[in-house]
Structure 1
């Protein structure tokens, strides 16, 4: 009886393992990382904040823009994959996407390192203007589909 149970367990495990080995890796999203902000602000809201809060908002907006804008011709939201766009998922195309994502992450990390050391010296008025500009750019993404019409 124990032999039958052991054989059945081994056979079952082997079948399960083979089943998982045959599954393809899920397609990677073209847009990854942070892709939205929690709130849009008015100039008055921003004037009431201290510089530390403004710096945080500024960096958050840069992150969203870096993750979305370079890929806007493909997608403006996460979840869009090469497969869903009809792009062949060849080894070269997958590698290109991985390289692009890695380059974006590296760029963002180095930009933030620079921003954290230099940005505190910026004028608060300029910082507020930049945040408002970034937010208006992000709001415009909601109307991106309008530009696709013939």
Structure 2
């Protein structure tokens, strides 16, 4: 029991430190804003790929800490992609490549959307790291498998488009 508590505590503090490490300094934000003005910004930002899909057997063999990490990784991908599938399902698609005028208002709307997505993801991760460890392991595995099947379905998205 003590080992599980130590493992959970280590995982929790690791997740917190990763969150703080990702925060930009004021100087980095200024550089980012300058780059955004020069380059057309991608509609889908953030980490939009998962490293591997898993079987139930693979997930059953993992610790709860590992499962929590996979769950959060899949949440990030879903938060970044699903609201934008009418535009793109992969990173690199820009307003310019879609023929959307890159007006000041359109650029601001995209920047606001990306910032809102980032803020939502940060708050979701904060909530998940506090509450998710109390979830049933089988429910956690089922959720991961469901998210993975949803992400796999993105590969068939173009099948629904009319030519």
Q: Same fold (TM over 0.5)?
A: yes
Corresponding residue for residue 77 of structure 1 = 90
User: 5 Å matches for 1:1-150?
Assistant: 25-149=38-162
Count how many residue pairs are aligned between Structure 1 and Structure 2.
127
Shift of 1:25: 1.1
DSSP 3-state at the match of 1:46: helix
- Deviation at residue 149 of structure 1 after TM alignment: 2.5
CA apart distance, 1:26:
1.1
* CA deviation after TM superposition for structure 1 residue 64, in Å: 0.5
What is the CA distance between 1:95 and its match in structure 2?
0.2
Which residue is 2:4 aligned to?
none
Q: TM-score, normalised by structure 2?
A: 0.77
Q: TM-score scaled by structure 1?
A: 0.83
Per-residue deviation at 1:61?
0.2
Distance 1:149 1:132 in 2: 29
Task: Kindly state the Cα deviation for residue 52 of structure 1 after the two structures are TM-superposed.
Answer: 0.2
1:71 positional shift: 0.4
In structure 1, C-alpha distance between the alignment counterparts of 2:98 and 2:134, rounded to whole Å = 44
Structure 2 unaligned segments of length 5 or more: list them.
Answer: 1-36
Give the drift of 1:30. 0.2
Q: Unaligned 5+ residue runs, structure 1?
A: 1-23
